[in-house]
Structure 1
């Protein structure tokens, strides 16, 4: 009877350690997650317009030959006249 109690206590301790290690791993991986929308918005605000070189929110456009430009709202008319497609 004494040994059965020791075995049960040992199993409970081992089970507790396994759960503790799993929660530590889950916490570590949850800190590595970056919110996609937040990162995308920050990247757009940090870039310059291809035409006027002002730091602003930009939209990317591609021409027929494959060149990509980032354009702010003020310079959007230049892109429309060149028939570029938004990405």
Structure 2
């Protein structure tokens, strides 16, 4: 009986230590995947997004054409595109 305790107790202690180490490592990795939204909004360009056609940055209005392709167009490009194709607001 004593020999059984001599082998089982240290084995159980090693197993418990391994489980503790793995769980701690997993939670640490999960916390690295979480980012603050404040950092993302500061990095975002304040000038707006680039137009799909002329690539100028500014306020865009998003449209889809007959094929379902969504494009962000500025006011000038929108007027030109309305003449040539049917645009649907998204």
Name the TM-score, length of structure 2 as normaliser: 0.53
- Over the aligned positions, Cα root-mean-square deviation in angstroms equals 3.3
Task: State the alpha-carbon separation in 2 of the partners of residues 76 and 43 from structure 1.
Answer: 24
Name the TM-score, length of structure 1 as normaliser: 0.54
Q: Any stretches of 5+ residues in structure 1 without a counterpart?
A: 50-57
Structure having the higher strand fraction is 2
Q: Any stretches of 5+ residues in structure 2 without a counterpart?
A: 62-72, 82-90
Q: Which has the larger radius of gyration?
A: 2
CA deviation after TM superposition for structure 1 residue 12, in Å = 0.8
Matched residue count = 68
Structure 1 residue runs of 4 or more that deviate by more than 6 Å after TM superposition: none
Please name the residue that 2:20 is paired with: 20
